Homo-oligomer: A and B are copies of this chain.
Amino acid sequence: MTTDVLISEVGPRDGLQSVKATMPTAHKLAWIDGLHAAGLREIEVGSFVPARLLPQMADVAEVVRHALTRPGLTVMALVPNVRGAEAALASGVHKLTLPVSASEAHSLANVRKTRAQMVDEVRAVVALRRASAPKVRVEAGLSTAFGCTLQGPVPEDDVVRLAVALAEAGADEIGLSDTTGMANPAQVRRLFRRVRAEIGERTGAAHLHNTRGLGLANCLAAHDAGVRTFDSSQGGLGGCPYAPGASGNVVTEDLVFMFEAMGVRTGVDLDRLMAAREALRAGLPGEPLYGMTPEAGLTRGFTYADGRVPAAMKGTA
Interface residue ranges, A against B (CB under 8 Å): 147-149, 152-153, 180-182, 184-187, 210-214, 216-217, 219-221, 245, 247, 251, 254, 257-258, 261-264, 291-293, 296-297, 299-302, 317
Contacts and interface: CB of A to CB of B under 8 A. Distances in A.
B216 A219 contact: no
B245 A297 contact: yes
A43 to B, nearest CB: 22
A8 to B, nearest CB: 19
A245 B153 contact: no
Contact of A254 (B148, B214, B245, B258): B214
Q: Which of A182, A187, A212, A254 has the most CB of B within 10 A?
A: A212
B245 A296 contact: yes
Given A245-B296, A292-B212, A301-B153, A217 B184 contact: no
Q: Which of A219, A297, A302 has the most CB of B within 10 A?
A: A302
Nearest to A220: B217
A211 B146 CA distance: 27
A257 B214 CA distance: 9
Nearest to A152: B301
Given A152-B301, A212-B299, A214-B258, 20 more contacts: A148-B301, A181-B296, A182-B301, A182-B302, A185-B262, A186-B263, A186-B264, A187-B261, A210-B292, A211-B299, A212-B296, A213-B216, A213-B254, A213-B257, A214-B216, A214-B261, A214-B292, A216-B216, A220-B221, A245-B299
B184 A258 contact: yes
A217 B182 CA distance: 16
A186 B258 CA distance: 9
Contacts of A185: 220, 258, 262
A243 to B, nearest CB: 10
B317 A213 contact: no
A300 B261 CA distance: 34
